[in-house]
């Protein structure tokens, strides 16, 4: 067996099951899960219909590159969404469909890391655990940048030592962040592109929460926005990851894309050809329908706004909690140890959250997730309100 597997940490939900084992929640209170970031809003009917209408494609082998119509739809969506010039993305060179961002982030790391070098894969801390596992299995060393409240829950990139940038092969960004909900500012993205040029590393921007934000008039910038602002039409060293899971409430469709540097994507396509991960044609056709429609996406954001408004009104008087820049998570401080808070909340109120310490790593004696929990506001509005009321009652009766 691959001995690197022994370096992998248990996934947060495996740790959570162990933490809650043996706890007996009240039988008269239904379970409410704020733990898993799985969208629960209704999937668009027209996407399901497009999938059903094309089931005859089950008889067709899909290609790894994907059908031209899907790559065209993705390229045009990127141009509309991130303010790119018309035809700024070449669907044949700059876009590659993938089976969701989790699969793509992992595979991309395997394709990009140079195993012959003593390389680093740099990521925010706390972070989506796939960044770490992908780095380890690619033969690189994970390096964690703390996301602290005093820096807006973003890494302090100015404090990163030169030797880290010199060894960096991939810089993972997550904007809006999981679990913090923080956005990486446009000016910061520009600075990071300059650093990537200077030290020759790849920026891998995980933007799967980019369509969940609060101000319809000001959609958040992405890495492609920064490229456009810099006149960088080759997207050199810049790659973005997007998904229909959160944007369109389609986590089961397993559909997303990678876009950016054509040379990197050419090598990534080679890797994926051997990896055996082509998207089924019927899924591609359904995905075209989703990428071409924004009405359902705006309606989705409105549902999340209502939940954040209601839950924050209930919790703000008893918790140190702020509205995030985007995404669907809250990242509040806890009045006790985060693991104790999680277990006792479950035992007394039958509400499940994730300890922040399960989502971060300790570096130099400090773990940015300690003393916080992640709450995913994915349940229906009434359930989110009831969960918030139970959490408030729990805190008030401590």
Phi/psi-derived region of residue 364, left when phi > 0, alpha when psi is between -120 and 50, beta in every other case: left
Number of domains in the chain: 2
Q: What is the pLDDT of residues 5-64, one digit of tens each?
A: 999 999 999 999 999 999 999 999 999 999 999 999 999 999 999 999 999 999 999 999
- What is the structure's pLDDT at 224? 98
In a shared domain, residues 181 and 242: yes
In a shared domain, residues 271 and 317: no
In a shared domain, residues 171 and 306: no
- What average pLDDT score do residues 317-345 get? 98
Range of the domain at 312: 3-42+296-396
Four-residue CA torsion sign, 76, 80, 82, 84: positive
Q: Would the pLDDT of 276 be above 90? A: no
| 47 domain-assigned | no
b/e map of 355-364 (b: 16 or more CB within 10 Å)? bbbbbbbeee
- What average pLDDT score do residues 349-355 get? 98
In a shared domain, residues 95 and 33: no
Helix then strand count (H, E) for the chain reads 14, 12
Choose one of 293, 313, 343: the last residue of a domain: 293
Question: Three-class SS of residue 30?
Answer: coil
Choose one of 244, 277, 293: the last residue of a domain: 293
- What average pLDDT score do residues 133-140 get? 97
Q: What is the pLDDT of residues 142-164, one digit of tens each?
A: 999 999 999 999 999 999 999 99
In a shared domain, residues 230 and 321: no
Q: What is the pLDDT of residues 77-105, one digit of tens each?
A: 999 999 999 999 999 999 999 999 999 99
- What is the structure's pLDDT at 35? 97
In a shared domain, residues 184 and 241: yes
Classify residue 210 as exposed, middle or buried by CB count within 10 Å of its CB (0-12, 13-18, 19+).
buried
- What is the structure's pLDDT at 352? 98
The pLDDT mean for the chain works out to 97
Identify whether the C-beta of residue 136 lies closer than 8 Å to the C-beta of residue 4: yes
User: Residue 359 is part of a domain; what is its CATH number?
Assistant: 3.90.1150.10
In a shared domain, residues 105 and 168: yes
User: Residue 129 is part of a domain; what is its CATH number?
Assistant: 3.40.640.10
For the record, the structure tokens of 315 come out as 């919790």
Choose one of 258, 293, 328: the last residue of a domain: 293
- Say how many residues make up the chain: 398
- What is the structure's pLDDT at 85? 95
Strand-pair partners of 206:
174, 241
Cis peptide before 179 (omega within 30 of 0): yes
Based on C-alpha coordinates, what's the Rg of the chain? Answer: 21
- What is the structure's pLDDT at 323? 98
């Amino acid at each position: 067996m691959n001995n690197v597997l022994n370096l992998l940490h248990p996934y947060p939900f495996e740790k959570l099951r162990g933490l809650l084992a043996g706890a007996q929640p009240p039988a008269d209170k239904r379970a409410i899960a704020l733990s898993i970031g799985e969208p629960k809003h209704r999937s668009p009917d027209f996407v399901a219909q497009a999938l059903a209408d094309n089931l005859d494609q089950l008889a067709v082998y899909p290609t790894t590159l994907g059908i031209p119509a899907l790559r065209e739809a993705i390229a045009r969506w990127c141009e509309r969404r991130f303010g790119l010039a018309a035809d700024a993305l070449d669907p044949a060179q700059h876009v590659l469909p993938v089976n969701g961002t989790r699969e793509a982030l992992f595979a991309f790391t395997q394709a990009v890391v140079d195993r012959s070098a003593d390389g680093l894969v740099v990521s925010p801390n706390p972070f989506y655990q796939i960044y770490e596992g992908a780095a380890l299995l690619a033969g690189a060393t994970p390096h964690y940048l703390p996301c602290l409240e005093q820096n807006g829950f973003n890494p302090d990139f100015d404090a990163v030592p030169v030797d880290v940038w010199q060894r960096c092969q991939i810089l993972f960004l997550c904007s809006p962040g999981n679990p913090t909900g923080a956005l990486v500012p446009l000016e910061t993205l520009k600075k990071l592109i300059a650093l990537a040029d200077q030290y020759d590393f790849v920026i891998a921007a995980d933007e799967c929460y980019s369509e969940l934000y609060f101000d319809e008039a000001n959609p958040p910038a992405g890495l492609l926005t920064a490229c456009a602002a810099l006149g960088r039409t080759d997207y050199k060293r810049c790659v973005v990851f997007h998904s229909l899971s959160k944007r369109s409430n389609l986590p089961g469709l397993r559909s997303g894309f990678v876009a950016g540097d054509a040379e990197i994507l050419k090598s990534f396509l080679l890797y994926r050809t051997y990896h055996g991960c082509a998207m089924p044609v019927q899924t591609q056709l359904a995905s075209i329908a989703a990428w071409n429609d924004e009405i359902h996406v705006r309606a989705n954001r409105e549902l999340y706004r209502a939940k954040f408004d209601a839950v924050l009104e209930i919790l703000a008087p008893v918790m140190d909690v702020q509205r995030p820049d985007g995404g669907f998570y809250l990242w509040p401080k806890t009045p006790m140890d985060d693991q104790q808070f999680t277990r006792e909340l479950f035992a007394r109120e039958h509400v499940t959250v994730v300890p922040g310490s399960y989502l971060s790593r300790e570096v130099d004696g400090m773990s940015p997730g300690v003393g916080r929990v992640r709450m995913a506001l994915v349940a229906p509005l009434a359930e989110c309100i009831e969960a918030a009321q139970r959490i408030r009652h729990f805190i008030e009766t401590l």
